[in-house]
Structure 1
Amino acid sequence: MDTGAPQDELVLRALVVDDEVSLAGVVANYLKHDMFEVQLAHDGHRALELAREFDPDVVVLDIGLPGIDGIEVCRRLRIFSDAYVVMLTARDSEIDTVVGLSVGADDYVTKPFSPRELVARVRAMLRRPRRSPPTPNDSATRSKPRQVGPLVIDIDSREVTLDGAPIMLTRTEFDVLALLSTRPGVVMSRQQILESVWGGAWVGADNIVDVHIGHLRRKLGDSTSTPRFVTTVRGVGYRMGSG
C-alpha cells in the first residue's frame, strides 16, 4: 500500500513468528513502539504466507514452531526473501545456533531474553548497508571484482564465483567475505569484524563470527589446516589469503 511518504521515511516491516502468543505480542509491542509495522504468525505455514504477502525487512523467528519448525521456515524463506532473520531458541546449545545460522539466519537470541535488547539488535542489523546490483548506466562507477586465486568477489553485484561456478552465500556470509577481501593478508580481529559487519551496537557474543567463518569455509571448500582463502590467526582473528 502506498503511504505517500518519501522512500527514506517508510516504516520498516517486521514479522514476528512464535507459537507463544503472549511472548510474540510482547515482542511485537516493543517493535511497534520503535516505529516498526508488525505482523504476527504462530506457526510455520502462516509465517511463510505472511513473508510473501508482507515482504518484511526483518523476521524474528522461533525455532520450536508447530508444523514446520523455524529451521525449515528459514530455509524456505531464503528462496524468495533476503530479510534479516533473528532466530529465537529456548535451548542454549551450540547445535541450535549452528543449524539456524547455516540455513541463512543472521543472528540468534536465547530465551529468556530482553525484548529491548532484541529490538536493539534488530536495529543494529538494519543499519548495515543493503547494496543493490548496479544498473547498466552505473558501469563507469563499478568497482573491479576482487580475486583471490580462483575465488572472485564482485562487490557491486554481491556475487561470488569459485573456478567460474557461483557460490551461494547468505547476506551476512557475503559481508564477512567482502570485509576480509578489502585488505588481503591483513589480520582482522573478531571485534573489528563484529563492528564492521554487525555494527557498533552489537550486544551478542563474538563467537557468531566464528560460526559464519565456518559456513564460509564449507561453502568455499576451504580447509582449516591448509586454507586457500580464509586463514585463522590464533588468538587474533582472521585474514584473507592462504596460510
Structure 2
Amino acid sequence: MPCLTLARPIEVLLVDDQRAILAGVTALIESEGPSMRVAGCAATGSLALELARSTQPGVIILDVDLGGEDGLALIPLLLCDCDARIVVFTCLDTPATRRRALDLGAADFVSKTASGDELIAAVLRAME
C-alpha cells in the first residue's frame, strides 16, 4: 500500500487596515481548503511584525496603506523576522509603487481590482 503524505498548508498572514478586506481575503484563502489557511490578521505594522515572528507564515499579503502607515516600509522588517514571501495587495497600483515594493523584496504585486483567482495565483507563485 502506498504511503500518502499530506502537504502542509500554506500559512498566510494578512496585513490590511480595512476589516472588510481582511474578512473577504480570509474567506478566499480558507476556501482553498486544506492547501491554504490564514495564520493571522493584522491591521497595523507592529501587530504584523509580532504575528510574523510568532506564526512564521509562508506568505504575507500586505497592503501599502495601513491607515496612514507605510506598509511597504514593513517589507524589510518582515523579511528579517520570518522567511515568508510577501505579496503586496493594494489599490495603489502605480508603476512607482510596484517598483518600490519589488525593490524592497516583495515577491509579487496584485491590485485590489484583480480577481480572487489572481490573488490565489500570486500566493502560489510566491511559494514556488
Query: TM > 0.5 between the two?
Result: yes
Question: C-alpha root-mean-square deviation of aligned residues, in Å?
Answer: 1.8
The answer to whether structure 1 residue 114 and structure 2 residue 83 are counterparts is no
Q: Which structure carries more helix by proportion?
A: 2
Answer whether contact 1:43 1:67 (CA < 8 A) is retained.
no
What amino acid is aligned across from residue 119 of structure 2 in structure 1? L
What's the counterpart of residue 30 of structure 2?
32
Identity %: 32
What's the counterpart of residue 15 of structure 1?
13
What's the counterpart of residue 51 of structure 1?
52
What's the counterpart of residue 71 of structure 1?
72
Answer whether contact 1:16 1:59 (CA < 8 A) is retained.
yes
Name the TM-score, length of structure 2 as normaliser: 0.85
The answer to whether structure 1 residue 101 and structure 2 residue 99 are counterparts is no
Answer whether contact 1:51 1:77 (CA < 8 A) is retained.
yes
Answer whether contact 1:86 1:108 (CA < 8 A) is retained.
yes
Cα distance in 1 between the residues matched to 2:76 and 2:53: 14
Answer whether contact 2:43 2:66 (CA < 8 A) is retained.
yes
Instruction: Specify every segment of 5 or more residues in structure 1 that has no aligned partner in the other structure, as ranges.
Output: 1-5, 129-243
Name the TM-score, length of structure 1 as normaliser: 0.47
Q: After TM superposition, list the pairs within 5 Å mapping 1:167-182 onto structure 2.
A: none
What's the counterpart of residue 88 of structure 1?
89
Structure 1 residue ranges, 4+ long, deviating more than 6 angstroms after superposition: none
What's the counterpart of residue 145 of structure 1?
none
Task: Tell me the secondary structure at the aligned position of residue 9 of structure 1.
Answer: coil
What amino acid is aligned across from residue 114 of structure 1 in structure 2? S
1:86-109 deviation per Cα after TM superposition (whole angstroms, max 9, x unaligned): 002222211101111111101001
Answer whether contact 1:63 1:88 (CA < 8 A) is retained.
yes
Answer whether contact 1:14 1:56 (CA < 8 A) is retained.
yes
Aligned length: 122
Q: Which structure carries more strand by proportion?
A: 2
